[in-house]
């Protein structure tokens, strides 16, 4: 097994090539992400709006966590080799969450005239709960 | 409640610009330091004419330059406070780089009731083309609406 992507040799099924941990998500980060992403839904930054919508507090944009997962992915795989990237938002990510992103090769395939690998990706919080479960296809 | 009549509905195409300064703000927000996204020389070394965008940034561009970013929710009479993001996917066909101008063309592709109508899942697919008419990406998202 390897822990970084070596593009001179093909990865093998089981290789854990994606791993990155991110700092705890605070309100400031959500405010910055609101502006940076163009997602101005107040539910992520305005506690009054969140409570009126039935939530105890504001919560993280799913796409902020997917942004972390994408960062962990492109730390391991050059961006020009990423063919697709998808995720399911399995649970709401609360304030204070410390996200760890991981990815493992699950399959080697031929598609689009090239050799590709399928990666299974997860983003978990500090309790180990899966927040995002996703997949990427990369050229190898 | 949103019903099957929404399937096939298209919304106003969005034209978006990939601006270096705005992209840097996004990178800083995520603590992204990979030089390929910031530095022309690093991008060139990886075969890009200009810095490429990170994997999820297409989603942001569609909202950043949208004159009515919640048009789809308003048109289908969905309350913003009842919406959650269920799934998101990106398929990349060609590079998107700083300096590009993109056109996003969203369409509702599915409406599915869950849990006896307690939730409705709405699938939206968006084709993305660049200023040269190249089909650079497809994105799909599933929006979860909490009913009742």
Interface membership of B42 toward A (CB under 8 Å): no
A49 to chain B: which residues are within 8 Å by CB? 81
Q: Chain A: nearest CA to B93, how far in angstroms?
A: 7
For chain B, the first-to-last Cα distance in angstroms comes to 9
Helix/strand/coil percentages in chain B, nearest 5 = 30, 35, 35
Judged by CB atoms closer than 8 Å, whether chains meet at A74 and B30 is answered as no
Record the pTM.
0.95
Q: Which of A6-10, A21-25, B8-12 has the lowest mean pLDDT?
A: A6-10
CB B62 within 8 A of CB B126: yes
Classify B131 as helix, strand or coil: coil
Whole-angstrom distance, CA of residue A96 vs CA of residue A67: 17
pLDDT tens string B93-131: 999 999 999 999 999 999 999 989 899 999 999 999 999
Whole-angstrom distance, CA of residue B61 vs CA of residue B96: 11
pLDDT tens string B17-55: 999 999 999 999 999 999 999 999 999 999 999 999 999
Question: For residue A81, is pLDDT > 70?
Answer: yes
- What is the complex's ipTM, to 2 decimals? 0.95
Pairwise pLDDT comparison (A96 vs B68), residue with the higher score: A96
Q: What percent of chain B is predicted at pLDDT more than 70?
A: 100
- Spatial CA neighbour of B15 closest among B84, B82, B64: B64
């Amino acid at each position: 097994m390897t822990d970084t992507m070596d593009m001179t040799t093909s990865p093998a099924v089981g290789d854990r090539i994606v791993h990155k941990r991110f700092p705890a998500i605070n309100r400031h980060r959500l405010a910055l992400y609101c502006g940076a992403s163009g997602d101005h839904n107040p539910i992520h930054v305005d506690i009054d709006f969140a409570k009126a919508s039935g939530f105890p507090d504001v919560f993280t944009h799913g796409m902020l966590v997917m942004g972390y997962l994408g960062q962990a992915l492109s730390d391991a795989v050059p961006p020009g080799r990423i063919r697709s990237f998808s995720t399911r938002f399995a649970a709401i990510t609360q304030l204070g969450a410390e996200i760890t992103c991981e990815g493992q090769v699950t399959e080697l395939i031929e598609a689009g005239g090239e050799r590709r690998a399928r990666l299974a990706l997860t983003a978990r919080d500090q309790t180990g709960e899966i927040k995002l479960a996703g997949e990427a296809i990369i050229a190898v | 409640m949103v019903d099957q009549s929404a399937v096939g509905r298209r919304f106003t195409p969005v034209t978006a610009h990939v601006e270096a300064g705005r992209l840097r703000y996004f990178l800083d927000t995520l603590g992204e330091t990979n030089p390929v996204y910031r530095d022309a020389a690093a991008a060139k070394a990886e075969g890009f004419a200009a810095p490429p965008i990170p994997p999820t940034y297409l989603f942001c561009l569609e909202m950043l330059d949208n004159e009515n970013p919640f048009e789809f929710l308003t048109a289908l009479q969905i309350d913003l406070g009842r919406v959650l993001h269920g799934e998101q996917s990106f398929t990349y066909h060609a590079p998107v780089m700083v300096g590009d101008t993109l056109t996003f063309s969203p369409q509702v592709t599915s409406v599915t009731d869950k849990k006896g109508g307690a939730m409705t899942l709405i699938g939206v697919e968006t084709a993305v083309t660049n200023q040269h008419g190249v089909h650079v990406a497809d994105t799909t998202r599933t929006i979860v609406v909490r009913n009742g």
